[in-house]
Structure 1
Amino acid sequence: MHRILRRTALIAASTLAAGLLTSPAAHAADPSPGLAADWLELQLTDGLVESAQFPGFYDDGLTIDVAFGLQASRAAKGAAIDAIDTALQSRVGDYTGAAPEAYAGATAKLAVFVQSIGGDATAYGSDSTNLILKLNRRVSTKTAIKGRIQDKSQYGDYANVIGQAFAVRALKTAGTGKADAALGFLLKQQCRDGHFRLNFAASTTTTKQGCNAGNPETVSAPDTDTTAVAVIQLQALKGKNLKTKRAITKAVAWLKAHQKSNGAFGGGTTTEGSNTNSTGLAGWALGVAHSCGAAQDAAEWVARWQVLDDAGPLTGELGAVAYDRPGFNVAAQTDGITDATRDQWRRATAQATPALANLVLADCKAS
């Protein structure tokens, strides 16, 4: 019963925050992943997310996040995901790097998307790119960093632990020979208290590649988003070994210990305040790990910042999720979602949608 009362309070809170004091809460929509999915679908232009500020610039990584959000929403969005798939097939080189460039994290993320829709990641796109081979080549065989992904780029190496997590899932799903090494290196990035750090060791020659070999306040600082992504990707693996299961258990325990009393999460060192990006990812991770009580608490906090009234400055934005309270209030009371803020709303909604799928405890437990 307290859950029903809390959800009713959420609707009322969203109405008040929007400054719609004359509109009865009873006329507001219920918070839901379906509403968020509907809004996300409207953000696609021919299957891609086009920048609102910079027309003609397409964000392939955010487009894939939208696809993941649509999949996790449990809404019937097959046509939208098909459109994303079709659009990305013509942009493989743009996103993953055209030879001689090769971006490990992007390649891994795209490969996971292709695998998630039942596509062939060994022959994807208009040029039939073998994403698995391309990714496999970005996994180091050097003794000190065996299993670590690396970019091949004139602009530097920006590979990180989030990309490593996607790489592990892609390579494990494909059954490649480097999958175990990649997994082993990912697990090294988990710190003693259970969180995963964001960045690898700066050196590629030192043997100290593990998390706690670095300064816990800098290179090994806690990062909610990275920890959540690691849980999501590791949980998706089939035939997990005991070490992997223990890593997931420790990471989930860390997330639960760092969840705020209102259900929210902050991110890493630069996004410590409560926000729907980090809470969305953490709630998603808690859900797939079957920590459904904590997942529902995260979902209910995220739902506070979902647009539930198709009126006022937010007319036409039903279902969108703001990044945080200030972002919601500014949009609801004065500006609406502007070209300057739309991409932030898109990123927040894409990562919040999977968490909203846990609003109903039974749905989380059944997933």
Structure 2
Amino acid sequence: MKQPFTRTVRRLAIATTAVTAATGMALALAAPAQAARPTAAEKQSVRWLGGQLTDGVMHNDQYDFDDIGLTLDAGLALAALDKRPADVEAIQSALGDDIEGYTTYNGDVYAGSVAKALAFTTVSGGDYTDVGGVNLRHRLHQLVIREGSSTGRIADHSDGTDYANTIGQAFAVQGLSLSDSGQAKKVIRFLLKQQCDTGYFRLQFNDDKDAKNQGCGGPGTNTPSVDVTALAVIALQDTHQMGKQVRSAQQHAVAWLLSQQGSDGSFAGAPPTDSANTNSTGLASWALGSSGVCRPARQAAVWVRGLEVPPNDDSALADETGAIAYDAAAYQAGESDGITTATRDQWRRASAQAAPALRYLRRSNCA
């Protein structure tokens, strides 16, 4: 049974939703190759992810709610890998059943949630004009600022805090580009403003929507983020607008990601998750592989595979083949305690973001 979100849980759900290049060197980004045979690790991981769904939803047993945001993360991974179409269809159906509960609350409408729902629906081939009776593209259009210095920025419709950020902006770029929206170019242009001089994309926008400088370097937090940068690169793969500007931004972002990759292939997130982990490494591998930067993508995928539960595991993880741990500490804890009610959420989030990297274990899956 679906449970209503409390305001606290809803805020958490919304909030949670990589050196080989010399400085200034232009990278040639190739189109990704047609997917070849899946790797064994990839098949195991998507099987585990699909097994976490109940009627198309990931239910959080610890706090007893249906986590639609995490469900969409899994759906985006499965759609990107073109695996388990029945599970993808089940997620589409479940999203329609709870679209209002996921994107709105007490009259507020959350731009990041709408953008993520639209991105999943378009990536997975669903009908974005009717998701539970909602035209997601139209709803997102209503949340795009149309004039002034913040033109193209997504923003919550709310009398309170605006939680929109660059992750939601990237999803908006993806969804609006794939649905051939006339607003896509404005949204892309604002996303590109969030790219900092060294190549990374920052997470938070300028709080003052009327300030002249809405880009990185202006007011706001400009902390480097592998996760945000990787998601921006992935989203920009799906647009054919502003070709030269987008390609330049992608090249700059990829060069920065490469500068962040550890010698073991791993990536770390931004504080407070500034240690090697599969979320950041998986997303970076996905971004690099989809950009045709194959060797680093494979190195990252190999690191991720090292934290995937293998078949015939003889520890307490014996029944969790394909699950991907967040880091070595989480894997070690799982070996002794298994995946518990309290830790399953972290394993699911890590697996959803890291699974697409596993395709790059096979070089033929990269351009």
Common fold by TM > 0.5? yes
Given the alignment of the two structures, is residue 321 of structure 1 paired with residue 324 of structure 2, yes or no?
yes
Q: How many correspondences in the alignment?
A: 328
Residue 347 of structure 1: aligned partner: 349
Deviations 1:308-341 (A, max 9, x none): 0343201210010000000001111x11111010
2:359 to 357, 360, 363: 357
- Answer with 1 or 2: which has the greater Rg: 1
Residue 113 of structure 2: aligned partner: 106
Residue 88 of structure 2: aligned partner: 81
Q: Within 5 A, what are the aligned runs for 1:65-214?
A: 65-75=73-83, 77-97=84-104, 100-125=107-132, 128-214=133-219
2:239 to 222, 231, 237: 237
The aligned amino acid for 1:113 is F
CA displacement at 1:119 relative to structure 2 = 1.9
Q: Within 5 A, what are the aligned runs for 1:193-342?
A: 193-214=198-219, 219-308=221-310, 309-332=312-335, 334-342=336-344
CA displacement at 1:31 relative to structure 2 = 5.8
CA displacement at 1:114 relative to structure 2 = 1.1
Are the counterparts in 1 of residues 174 and 235 from structure 2 also a CA contact under 8 Å?
Answer: yes
CA displacement at 1:240 relative to structure 2 = 4.9
Deviations 1:195-225 (A, max 9, x none): 000000121121011102247xxx0110010
Could you tell me how far apart the structure 2 residues matched to 1:71 and 1:32 are?
Answer: 17
Residue 29 of structure 2: aligned partner: none
Could you tell me how far apart the structure 2 residues matched to 1:61 and 1:349 are?
Answer: 14
Are the counterparts in 2 of residues 49 and 60 from structure 1 also a CA contact under 8 Å?
Answer: yes
SS in 2 for 1:293: helix
Are the counterparts in 2 of residues 136 and 178 from structure 1 also a CA contact under 8 Å?
Answer: yes
> Which sits farther off after the overlay, 283-292 or 94-103?
94-103
Are the counterparts in 1 of residues 49 and 352 from structure 2 also a CA contact under 8 Å?
Answer: yes
Coordinate RMSD, CA, aligned: 1.5
The aligned amino acid for 1:282 is A
Are the counterparts in 2 of residues 31 and 306 from structure 1 also a CA contact under 8 Å?
Answer: no
Are the counterparts in 1 of residues 185 and 241 from structure 2 also a CA contact under 8 Å?
Answer: no
CA displacement at 1:231 relative to structure 2 = 0.2
Deviations 1:220-276 (A, max 9, x none): 110010000000000121355100110001001100111111000001122110000
CA displacement at 1:178 relative to structure 2 = 2.2
Are the counterparts in 2 of residues 72 and 353 from structure 1 also a CA contact under 8 Å?
Answer: no
**Whose helix fraction is larger, Structure 1's or Structure 2's?**
1
Residue 33 of structure 1: aligned partner: 42
Are the counterparts in 2 of residues 31 and 303 from structure 1 also a CA contact under 8 Å?
Answer: no
- Unaligned 5+ segments in structure 1 are 1-29
Are the counterparts in 1 of residues 268 and 276 from structure 2 also a CA contact under 8 Å?
Answer: yes
Deviations 1:68-101 (A, max 9, x none): 12223343x0111111111111111011115732
Given the alignment of the two structures, is residue 46 of structure 1 paired with residue 49 of structure 2, yes or no?
no
Could you tell me how far apart the structure 1 residues matched to 2:340 and 2:240 are?
Answer: 43
SS in 1 for 2:361: coil
CA displacement at 1:171 relative to structure 2 = 1.7
SS in 2 for 1:166: helix
> Which sits farther off after the overlay, 91-100 or 356-365?
91-100
Residue 12 of structure 1: aligned partner: none
- Unaligned 5+ segments in structure 2 are 1-38
